[in-house]
């Protein structure tokens, strides 16, 4: 593929991901409040790295240029670096000057992981097991936020019009049990802000989209269960004793956007 063709392909993929964000919602668990809101494609998630400069070269801004290593701050830990959507969120945060620790369930670096590491100096943790907190909880000690953007890895078979899950993933394992494991560890560690990336369809059980996606291993059912577990864990954190490191640190509820 020519350089021009490759550049065009990257632009297209970036725009498609930003469109995907328009159908997503965030569940936010903070010390001061809680809400469920729609995500919209915005300048905060930059696609400048895919745009040409006036001299015909490709621009590659990096977070390392903006934030010297001497001024490292508490990190934002993001789960889902093995997927393009998680990579895009990590890039958006890095370009805003955040220090990001990216969690990947892949045992080996992916091309996207190499971009995060080489272009942004980002710390990538490979081989994360969502069911085993020992593989990730140590990174919560000084974290100022945890973002869960992991999803069951899948492909859409256009010929048979079915969703096929990969690498042993299922919606129940990743988007319910994985959410439960990560959020419980984050609340226990006293992380002040926890964010769950979900989909607005998870609460619209009578919609055509919900019913179609739910045919594949109850994908929407388990996504909603994950949301409910997220809310429960954040609410329960308020009932802990004052001696708890995460006492009164988080609360959450859900309302349709």
Contact 77, 103 (CB under 8 A): yes
The 10s digit of each residue's pLDDT in 180-235 is 999 999 999 999 999 999 988 888 999 998 998 888 899 899 999 999 999 999 88
> What pLDDT score does 117 carry?
87
Better pLDDT: 116 or 69? 116
Query: DSSP alpha helices (H): ranges in the chain?
Result: 3-21, 63-66, 84-95, 111-120, 171, 179-188, 208-213, 219-236
Structure tokens at 213: 């996606």
Cross-sheet strand order for the sheet of 100-103: 34-38, 24-30, 193-199, 145-148, 76-79, 100-103, 123-125
- Please, what is the end-to-end C-alpha distance for the chain in angstroms? 42
> What pLDDT score does 7 carry?
54
> What pLDDT score does 161 carry?
75
Residue 64 Ramachandran class (φ > 0 left, ψ -120 to 50 alpha, else beta): alpha
The 10s digit of each residue's pLDDT in 73-102 is 899 999 998 888 889 999 999 999 999 999
Better pLDDT: 243 or 106? 106
Would you call 35 helix, strand, or coil by DSSP? strand
> What pLDDT score does 3 carry?
53
> What pLDDT score does 6 carry?
54
Structure tokens at 163: 């969703």
The 10s digit of each residue's pLDDT in 96-146 is 999 999 999 988 888 888 888 888 889 999 999 999 999 999 999 999 999
Better pLDDT: 257 or 221? 221
> What pLDDT score does 162 carry?
78
Better pLDDT: 31 or 253? 31
Better pLDDT: 196 or 13? 196
């Amino acid at each position: 593929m020519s350089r021009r063709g490759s550049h065009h392909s990257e632009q297209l993929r970036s725009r498609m991901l930003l469109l995907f964000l328009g159908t997503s919602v965030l569940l936010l668990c903070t010390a001061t409040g809680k809400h469920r809101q729609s995500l919209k494609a915005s300048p905060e998630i930059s696609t400048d790295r895919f745009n040409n400069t006036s001299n015909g070269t490709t621009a590659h801004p990096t977070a390392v240029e903006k934030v010297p290593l001497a001024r490292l701050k508490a990190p934002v830990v993001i789960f889902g670096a093995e997927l393009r959507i998680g990579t895009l969120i990590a890039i958006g945060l890095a370009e805003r000057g955040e220090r990001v620790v990216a969690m990947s369930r892949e045992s080996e670096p992916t091309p996207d992981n190499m971009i995060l590491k080489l272009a942004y100096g980002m710390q990538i943790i490979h081989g994360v097991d969502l069911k085993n907190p020992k593989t990730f909880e140590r990174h919560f000690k000084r974290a100022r936020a945890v973002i869960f953007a992991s999803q069951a890895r899948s492909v859409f078979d256009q010929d048979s019009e079915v969703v096929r899950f990969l690498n042993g993933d299922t919606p129940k394992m990743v988007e319910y049990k994985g959410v439960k494991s990560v959020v419980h560890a984050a609340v226990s560690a006293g992380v002040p802000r926890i964010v769950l990336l979900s989909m607005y369809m998870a609460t619209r059980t009578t919609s055509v989209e919900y019913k179609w996606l739910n045919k594949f291993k109850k994908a929407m059912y388990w996504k909603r269960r994950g949301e409910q577990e997220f809310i429960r864990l954040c609410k329960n954190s308020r009932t802990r004793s004052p001696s708890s490191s995460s006492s009164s640190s988080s609360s959450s509820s859900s309302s349709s956007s």
